[in-house]
Structure 1
Amino acid sequence: MTLREANSEDQQSQPGRSSSNSSALGQALTPALTVLISLVGLFLLWSLAATMWPSRAFPHPGQVWQVLVKDTVSGELPYHLGMTLARVAASFVLAMTIGSVIGIALGTYRRADQFFNAWVILFLNVPALVIIVLAYIWFGLNEVAAIGAVAINKIPNVIVTMREGARALDPRYREMAQVYRFSALDRVRHILLPQLQPYFAAGSRSGIALIWKIVLVVELLGRSNGVGFQIYLYFQLFDVAAILAYTLTFVAIMLLIELLLVQPFERHATRWRRRPA
């Protein structure tokens, strides 16, 4: 093959290569573009409805934006948002740690599972509000009661998820670890954790979605700061614009956490699974 023929062949292959790259880029951008168009449509619908039927109970997006900017500049919004996020993080870590340990133990030891299964079912069905109220009555209106109440509401769900993960552990890997005389640390690192990662990721994702909602209720009932406290304060003042400003800001932050932290971790944990073609 001459140099001229090789160059000609390469030029012919470039259009196909560029078209495939453009197609892949288009497929990647389509979901994001769809979400963006959907949100813009919702914003326009909200603006139109607030303009046609002006009411204090249904503020215009511009009014919500004004409150958001004012409270951000004054430092009120960052302070209360930071307090709420700190409670979400503390409750999440506590619930995932305790729930994972108990769940793995129940999934590993059958007799313990049979004995404590009724306890798990009981706590799964106790309303979150009851746990919050009892925590405040027993331990007082303090951070320990607030964070503990949120964690207790989530721990049973984590137990169920991690228990299923422990039951699904492949015994062949355990036998291999015994043959090669793995240390306890190596067994945890190379045998246990890789198999439990998908279940831990699933528990984390559902945990974040549940915990931040319960944290707002905890703050509304018994704390003097946080997004939940501010929502209750503005509810008493009938300031819907402020309620929406704090709510939408907090929801946006939680969505960013979901997209930037939780979903990437879940994809990493399940990377070994076969993807549909």
Structure 2
Amino acid sequence: MSTAAAAPSASKPRASQEELARRSRRNDLIKTWGWRLASYVFFLGLWEFSSGRFMDETLLPGPSAVFATFGELWQSGKVPAAFATTLTRIAIGFLLAFVVGVLVGMLMQNRWLSGFFKDAVTIGVTTPGLIWALITAIVFGNREAGPLIAIVLTTFAIITVNVSEGIKSLPKDLTDMARSFGVGAIKRNRHIVIPHLAPFIFTGVRYGFSMAWKVTVLTEVFSSSSGIGFEMRTATQLFQLPVFLTWILAFYILALFLEKVVLEVIERRFFAWRATLKA
């Protein structure tokens, strides 16, 4: 009887600790998002206050004018069409860059092939995307191959370096033990190699994706006849500052959405097993 009566009382401190932990996480989340939203309110308010006071509204349109212009462009269908064009280029170009980067990273584990690819990878990492955008604009003009090749040349090296470093740090003892116990190559890759390389690959994808965004818009500014960059160039040529700032703001919003919502959600779900192990 005494043991049965003591059990509920022993579980109460644990429940209270769990509740305190949830409250602490909730408070941290509220503070984090509160400060983040406060930064947006501050800078947008400063921007609105400066427009028409420190600078003429024709040179610095306020956020209210930019948001109104965004609504007009959205209703006209320009925003969805431009985003669809740019995102299609990024998806195709970055997929090609990912495949090339992974293959080259795996091949560089060979000493001779490492010497063959090393300088090319170094050039790819150090060369600014602006250089590749200008080269492809000169060579391909406004053809669709230009942005795709610029994306591949700019981003494949980032993925290659991360994959190569991940393979170098692969625990050889673990793979040797798996072989000694007769574990097949498919299971070894699924349960050992891929989980080990995943953080390196995701790091390369996130950095490479941000570079792909930049070089795609640059190529569209220089040589394309459609997309976000083309719309920016047209707005500057016509000296339409509200339209130009609207495209920049829309570009930022979409980039943040893809980075903070899409990529982070995929990464969090892929690494959900880590939280299970910690628990």
- Work out whether residues 52 and 60 of structure 2, in 8 Å CA contact, stay in contact via their aligned partners in 1: no
* In structure 2, distance between residues paired with 1:7 and 1:131: 68
Q: Which amino acid aligns with 1:58?
A: L
- Work out whether residues 219 and 229 of structure 1, in 8 Å CA contact, stay in contact via their aligned partners in 2: yes
SS of corresponding position for 1:219: helix
* In structure 1, distance between residues paired with 2:105 and 2:262: 23
CA positional deviation for 1:48:
0.8
* In structure 1, distance between residues paired with 2:3 and 2:172: 60
Q: Which amino acid aligns with 1:46?
A: W
- Work out whether residues 124 and 155 of structure 2, in 8 Å CA contact, stay in contact via their aligned partners in 1: no
CA positional deviation for 1:10:
8.2
Q: Which residue of 1 aligns with 2:196?
A: 195
- The number of aligned residues is 272
Percent identity of paired positions between Structure 1 and Structure 2: 25
Distance 1:5 1:153, change over 3 A: closer
CA positional deviation for 1:4:
10
Runs of 4+ in 1 over 6 A off after TM superposition: 2-16
Moved more, 50-59 or 223-232: 50-59
Moved more, 172-181 or 219-228: 172-181
Instruction: Map residues 242-261 of structure 1 onto 2, 5 A cutoff.
Output: 242-261=243-262
Moved more, 119-128 or 10-19: 10-19
Q: Which residue of 2 aligns with 1:42?
A: 43
Using structure 1 for the length normalisation, give the TM-score: 0.87
Q: Which residue of 2 aligns with 1:75?
A: 77
String of CA shifts for 1:36-87, please: whole Å, max 9, x gaps.
1111111111111114233311001111011100010110111001111111
Instruction: Map residues 95-244 of structure 1 onto 2, 5 A cutoff.
Output: 95-106=97-108, 108-244=109-245
Which runs of no fewer than 5 residues in structure 1 stay unpaired? none
Which runs of no fewer than 5 residues in structure 2 stay unpaired? none
- Work out whether residues 80 and 227 of structure 1, in 8 Å CA contact, stay in contact via their aligned partners in 2: yes
* In structure 2, distance between residues paired with 1:149 and 1:140: 12
CA positional deviation for 1:35:
0.3
* In structure 2, distance between residues paired with 1:94 and 1:113: 21
Distance 1:237 1:185, change over 3 A: same
Distance 1:188 1:241, change over 3 A: same
* In structure 1, distance between residues paired with 2:182 and 2:4: 59
Distance 1:122 1:22, change over 3 A: closer
CA positional deviation for 1:209:
1.4
* In structure 1, distance between residues paired with 2:179 and 2:211: 39
- Work out whether residues 201 and 269 of structure 1, in 8 Å CA contact, stay in contact via their aligned partners in 2: no
- Work out whether residues 80 and 226 of structure 1, in 8 Å CA contact, stay in contact via their aligned partners in 2: yes
* In structure 2, distance between residues paired with 1:19 and 1:191: 37
Q: Which residue of 2 aligns with 1:89?
A: 91
- Work out whether residues 71 and 77 of structure 1, in 8 Å CA contact, stay in contact via their aligned partners in 2: yes
Distance 1:8 1:197, change over 3 A: closer
String of CA shifts for 1:185-231, please: whole Å, max 9, x gaps.
32322222111000001001111211101111010111111110000
Distance 1:223 1:5, change over 3 A: same
Using structure 2 for the length normalisation, give the TM-score: 0.86
Distance 1:181 1:239, change over 3 A: same
CA positional deviation for 1:111:
2.5
- Work out whether residues 223 and 229 of structure 1, in 8 Å CA contact, stay in contact via their aligned partners in 2: yes
CA positional deviation for 1:33:
1.2
Q: Which amino acid aligns with 1:240?
A: L
